[in-house]
Structure 1
Amino acid sequence: MRAFLRGLQRPARGRCRRVLRDRVGRGMKRTGPSQRQLRVAEEIRHVLAGIFSRGGFRDPALAGAQVTVTEVRMSPDLRHATVFFSRLGRSDAAALLPALEHAHAYLRAQIAQALRLRFAPDLHFAPDTSLDYAMAIDSLLRSPAVARDLDRH
């Protein structure tokens, strides 16, 4: 009788037992950022693009640099933003990293002033390597060996 009653008992309630479930009852994993994360990231990208286009930095490394903000990724709690940037005309975007880290407080204050968020996100900068990767793939596809293989098939 006790074994029968154990089968009727509810499972323990708590965070460890909660899983998102679909209609069939299988567990689902959340993939990708939420709509709010995407929207806030895009707004931050617009604000930073405006700041970099106006210039006006005291740091000589940033004063003449043409910086492009390619992507911003937000953490789920909207307190951290990873800013991916590239430098126009030159491939040494990593050389700007110390200057951007130094201007971190100024950029964060400008974002806080432009956006009405509860917390101004903490900015983390990373050079965007996707353009370099795309150019490397393009050069591989244009190589004579690949062209020869494509002509065979």
Structure 2
Amino acid sequence: MESKRQQKFAGVIQQDLAEIFQREGMSFLPNMLVTITKVRMTPDLAIARVFLSFFNSQDAALALSTIKAHSNEIRYKLGSRIRNQARVVPSLEFFIDDTSEYVNRMDQIFDKISKEPRQPDTEEE
């Protein structure tokens, strides 16, 4: 369970990272939209686990490795934005958020179930 402090700081990190990716993300990921879906902070606020979703991407793993390669640059830009709000700029760990894939897979399963013929109830009273 995250504390209010962790949640509040995660919101600040998420908002600032979103602006960084929106304005400067095209330099290392051209023609791709990166969405920060969730940020989780460790209790000491030293590590930010950032979950990303990629749109217009053929290979999300390649996009993630590109972002990880630029993580020091991203952390530096984040630090310049939050320097008055945080004592220490957290280390950034990036992960692929597969929630949308999970939702799509569940939708397919439910569609498949709804198309199957219903079996009559066999309850005897």
TM-score range, shorter chain: 0.7 to 0.9
Q: Say if 2:53 and 2:97, in contact at 8 Å, map to a contact too.
A: yes
Distance in structure 2 (CA, Å) of the matches to 1:34 and 1:91:
37
What does residue range 3-152 of structure 1 map to in structure 2 within 5 Å? 32-55=1-24, 58-59=27-28, 62-90=29-57, 92-115=59-82, 116-143=85-112, 146-147=113-114, 148=116
Question: CA shift at 1:68, angstroms?
Answer: 0.8
Amino acid at match of 2:97: D
- The answer for unaligned runs of 5 or more in structure 1 is 1-31
Distance in structure 1 (CA, Å) of the matches to 2:31 and 2:74:
17
Amino acid at match of 1:50: E
Tell me which stretches of 4 or more aligned residues in structure 1 moved more than 6 Å: none
Distance in structure 2 (CA, Å) of the matches to 1:150 and 1:52:
48
Amino acid at match of 1:72: V
- The answer for unaligned runs of 5 or more in structure 2 is none
Determine which structure has more spread, i.e. the larger CA radius of gyration. Answer: 1
RMSD (CA atoms): 2.0
Higher strand share: 2
User: What secondary structure does 2:19 align onto?
Assistant: helix
Q: Say if 2:31 and 2:56, in contact at 8 Å, map to a contact too.
A: no
Q: Say if 2:32 and 2:57, in contact at 8 Å, map to a contact too.
A: no
Q: Report sequence identity in percent.
A: 31
Return the TM-score normalized by structure 1. 0.69
